[in-house]
Amino acid sequence: MNPEINYFDPNVLKAEADLLLKLQERKNGGLGVSCVKTIAAYLQLERFDTARQVRQLEGDKTRQYEDIENELRRFFGCRIHGKHDCQDWICQTKTYYPPMPKR
Ligand SMILES: [Zn+2]
């Protein structure tokens, strides 16, 4: 966990939920990103641990969105280990995967 974030402050969790909702709303042709909405919903309910579990289980659906992925990393840490200073090679690789070009 990020030592600069107070995960026990409901206002911090709600502010993060608002930020994530804003980041995802125009993605996916305006439909948004469902797992990000789920993460935000748990943060609004102050269920940080559940929000973190969704982030870890569904994080492969966010890595194509660079801004969302960066924000999730800042808040929750790396997807696989939940660490902010992760040295694992798999978390050191580039995190942003652009979508496949459409023909
Ligand atoms: Zn890691």
* 46, 40 Cβ separation under 8 angstroms: no
Distance 29 CA to ligand 1 centre (A): 30
Domain count, the chain: 1
pLDDT of residue 46: 97
Residue 98 domain-assigned (yes or no) = no
Distance 82 CA to ligand 1 centre (A): 6
* 14, 44 Cβ separation under 8 angstroms: yes
pLDDT of residue 100: 63
Residue 29 domain-assigned (yes or no) = yes
In which domain, by residue range, is 73 found?
Answer: 10-92
Q: What is the pLDDT along the chain (103 residues), one digit of tens a residue?
A: 888 999 999 999 999 999 999 999 999 999 999 999 999 999 999 999 999 999 999 877 888 898 998 899 999 998 888 888 888 887 765 555 556 666 6
Residue 5 domain-assigned (yes or no) = no
Residue 103 domain-assigned (yes or no) = no
- Is residue 93 packed enough to be buried (19+ CB in 10 Å), middle (13-18) or exposed (0-12)? exposed
Residue 2 domain-assigned (yes or no) = no
Distance 32 CA to ligand 1 centre (A): 26
Residue 101 domain-assigned (yes or no) = no
H or E element: which one contains 89?
helix 89-92
pLDDT of residue 97: 53
Residue 14 domain-assigned (yes or no) = yes
Residue 100 domain-assigned (yes or no) = no
